[in-house]
Amino acid sequence: MLETNNQKILQVRDLAVHFPIFKGMVFKKKIGDVKAVDGVSFHIFSGETFGLVGESGCGKTTTGRAILCLDRPTAGNIMFNGNDITRHDTTMLRQLRREMQMVFQDPFGSLDPRMTARDIIGEPLLVHNMTKSHAEYRDKIDHLLEIVGLNPGMAQRYPHEFSGGQRQRIGIARALSIKPKFIVCDEPVSALDVSIQAQIINLMEELQEAFDLTYLFIAHDLAVVRHISNRIAVMYLGDIVEIADRIDLYQNPQHPYTKALLSAVPVPDPAVEAVRQHLLIEGEVPSPFNPPAGCKFHTRCPYAMAVCKSEVPLFGPVGESEHMVACHLYR
């Protein structure tokens, strides 16, 4: 396990992000909200990797975007290095951007096709006035390319001349260029081929050690998240249903949804698969526009009780541990 000095770099309290839905062409009337993120709380220690898993539409990307001030929170607050960044102004935002960066999911859509690799990686440096001369600018970019495992001779190429894995390396170099402390990685490997995924995961681990980075790692692939994260939060329909240390979460999952997610991921070994217990859940994720009352998971939960349909379960620790879960089974 990585050394974490138990300093909270980020603290999120009751964060909610709702997107209003309008109806009508002329007289637009608000008919409700999509509750993409509906009151989540967690903290991230400096130097660790915090994993955020869940299925599509559960709000994991929106959570990451809200932390980077790309989406405005409806409620709650986000403390970064002790400062509340929910009420930021432009100067503060500019300062914040130097400390937090993002690596995007789609290595094809997240790079401007009309900019060379050098311009893409160098843009943050120019925006933040972090270079004094042209020579220094070029040196920095060549160095960044080397760090992420690309040949500096490729700096003049355009994104279409790179493969998916190489493009993701450019995206990582761009995020690293201004030496941030905190990087939100939104599904950074899910668009890549299996044999390339491991290259990028290893690169991210090496960079974390070299530059003392803190990651918020968002993904739907539990095996990948387990590999890279120190602690993991599981999201379902805008709520965090479980947070635990990675070893705990996989050895001793508490929430029925976590159990189902884990058993839905096959292990590449027929001998293991043959003896593994599979908890299959029925149905599909309900719409976040009109989520079920009580525990949002009760419609699919094999252990649902009467209380689950009416009361929202409290998010609290299991026993004395750091392991937190929101489920009536443990209350």
Does position 275 interact with other proteins (CB under 8 A)? The reply is no
What is the maximal distance between C-alpha atoms in the chain? 69
Question: Which residue, 120 or 262, has its beta carbon nearer to other proteins?
Answer: 262
Interface with other proteins in residues 32-71 (CB under 8 A): 55-56
Which of 16, 120, 235, 262 lies at the binding interface for other proteins (CB under 8 A)? 262
Does position 293 interact with other proteins (CB under 8 A)? The reply is no
Which of 76, 130, 227, 312 lies at the binding interface for other proteins (CB under 8 A)? 227
Q: Which stretch binds other proteins (CB under 8 A): 36-44, 209-217, 220-228, 320-328?
A: 220-228
Q: Which stretch binds other proteins (CB under 8 A): 7-15, 76-84, 158-166, 289-297?
A: 158-166
Question: Which residue, 133 or 251, has its beta carbon nearer to other proteins?
Answer: 251
Shortest distance in whole angstroms from residue 107 CB to other proteins = 13
Q: Which stretch binds other proteins (CB under 8 A): 77-85, 131-139, 171-179, 258-266?
A: 258-266
Does position 266 interact with other proteins (CB under 8 A)? The reply is yes
The 3-state secondary structure of the chain reads CCCCCCCEEEEEEEEEEEEEEEECCCCCEEEEEEEEEEEEEEEEECCCEEEEECCCCCCHHHHHHHHCCCCCCCEEEEEECCEECCCCCHHHHHHHHCCEEEECCCCCCCCCCCCCHHHHHHHHHHHCCCCCCHHHHHHHHHHHHHHCCCCHHHCCCCHHHCCHHHHHHHHHHHHHCCCCCEEEEECCCCCCCHHHHHHHHHHHHHHHHHHCCEEEEEECCHHHHHHHCCEEEEEECCEEEEEEEHHHHHHCCCCHHHHHHHHHCCCCCHHHHHHCCCCCCCCCCCCCCCCCCCCCCCCCCCCCCHHHHHCCCCEEECCCCCCEEECHHHC
Which of 263, 312, 318, 329 lies at the binding interface for other proteins (CB under 8 A)? 263
Interface with other proteins in residues 188-207 (CB under 8 A): 193-199, 201-202, 205
Does position 223 interact with other proteins (CB under 8 A)? The reply is yes
Q: Which stretch binds other proteins (CB under 8 A): 7-15, 67-75, 246-254, 288-296?
A: 246-254
Site of interaction with other proteins (CB under 8 A): 55-56, 163, 165-166, 193-199, 201-202, 205, 220, 222-224, 226-227, 246-247, 250, 260-273, 278, 280-282, 284-285
